[in-house]
């Protein structure tokens, strides 16, 4: 599934996968920036807590975003596919200036939302400039190919990861979350080796990748984003490996980026933080999206 088409003279909204476990009490840096991108005091944020089965999840995020100054915050109590046909939910998404998908179980999220009017609205709103953020399960579902499961394992193996269709807000990356905390490098390497076109993003807890309309991401938060680039792979044993057999993957490129670093998904190049500002120094043409 490709991202929804962007109209002429329109920029796609930010896509913001968060690794889960984000700070919700102190600085709330990630949430604060999401509220700002959504319009601040003029924001109309819609929270989708479907991945979670905890009843307080939606109201909790409503409180967080209101505390950070969002003008209006509502959550959609979607617990079944039938709920996705609710016309009032569609209207809420139509007027949203920011959409946030909570954590929980990404297969619950994909099996309830997949192919519904709600999923279509999210994709079209993002193509129309609305930022879409998701934490944990809400981060995994953003990509065209979604990591649905797999055990934490330092070794990439033939059966280390389970994949399923995602929402398709981006088809350039595949996303894993709780990355360092749950030792998920092996399964991200396995996922990237299935098709070296994909860029693997391993996002730590309390960390986000703010992917802009120019396909440049910026790392925000207390952890790191690990980028796996398999495009220059010279050899892979994936196609002939037996179940559980460690893979040989030659020619991989791996970047580990802390706060302020950026990564250009088009050129596949990472940039260090600027020493003076704490943000990354990119060539002007790259920042503008002139590749």
Count other C-beta atoms under 10 Å from residue 74's C-beta: 15
Contact 110, 163 (CB under 8 A): no
> Tokens representing 212?
């802009």
Q: Given the residues 52, 178, 192, 193, select the one marked as catalytic.
A: 178
Q: Count of alpha carbons within 13 Å of 207, Cβ hemisphere only?
A: 27
Contact 20, 177 (CB under 8 A): yes
Q: Count of alpha carbons within 13 Å of 60, Cβ hemisphere only?
A: 12
Task: Indicate if the alpha-carbon torsion angle 151, 225, 22, 48 is positive or negative.
Answer: negative
Strands, E, within the chain: which ranges?
15-18, 44-48, 72-75, 98-101, 132-135, 145-149, 162-165, 173-177, 199-203, 207-211, 216-221, 225-229, 235-236, 249-250, 253-257, 262-264, 269-271
d(CA 170, CA 143): 5
Cα-based distances in Å from 280 to 62, 231, 270: 32, 24, 9
Active site residue 269: no
Residues 6+ apart with CB under 8 A from 164: 106, 107, 110, 146, 148
d(CA 263, CA 242): 34
Q: Given the residues 38, 52, 110, 136, select the one marked as catalytic.
A: 136
d(CA 220, CA 241): 37
Q: Given the residues 144, 158, 205, 259, select the one marked as catalytic.
A: 205
Beta bridge partners of 72: 44
Known catalytic residues are 136, 178, 205
């Amino acid at each position: 599934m490709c991202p929804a088409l962007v109209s002429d003279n329109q920029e796609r909204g930010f896509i913001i996968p968060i690794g889960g476990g984000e700070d919700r009490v102190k600085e709330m840096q990630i949430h604060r920036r999401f509220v700002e991108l959504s319009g601040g005091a003029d924001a109309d944020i819609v929270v989708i807590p479907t991945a979670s089965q905890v009843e307080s999840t939606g109201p909790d995020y409503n409180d967080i975003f209101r505390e950070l100054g969002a003008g209006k915050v509502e959550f959609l109590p979607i617990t079944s596919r039938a709920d996705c046909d609710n016309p009032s939910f569609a209207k809420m998404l139509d007027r949203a200036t920011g959409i946030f998908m909570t954590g929980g179980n990404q297969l619950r999220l994909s099996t309830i939302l997949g192919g519904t009017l709600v999923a279509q609205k999210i994709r079209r709103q993002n193509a129309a400039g609305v930022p879409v953020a998701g934490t944990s399960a809400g981060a995994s579902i953003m990509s065209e190919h979604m990591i649905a499961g797999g055990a934490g394992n330092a070794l990439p193996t033939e059966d280390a990861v389970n994949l399923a269709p995602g929402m398709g807000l981006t088809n350039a990356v595949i996303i894993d979350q709780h990355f360092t905390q749950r030792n998920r490098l092996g399964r991200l390497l396995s996922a990237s080796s299935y098709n070296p076109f994909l860029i693997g993003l391993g996002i730590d807890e309390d960390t986000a990748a703010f992917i802009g309309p120019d396909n440049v991401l910026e790392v925000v938060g207390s952890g790191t984003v690990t980028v796996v680039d398999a495009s220059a792979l010279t050899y892979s044993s994936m196609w002939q490996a037996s179940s559980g057999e460690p893979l040989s993957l030659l020619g991989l490129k791996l970047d580990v980026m802390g706060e302020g670093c950026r990564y250009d998904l088009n050129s596949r190049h990472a940039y260090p933080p600027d020493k003076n500002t704490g943000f990354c120094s990119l060539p002007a043409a790259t920042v503008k999206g002139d590749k």
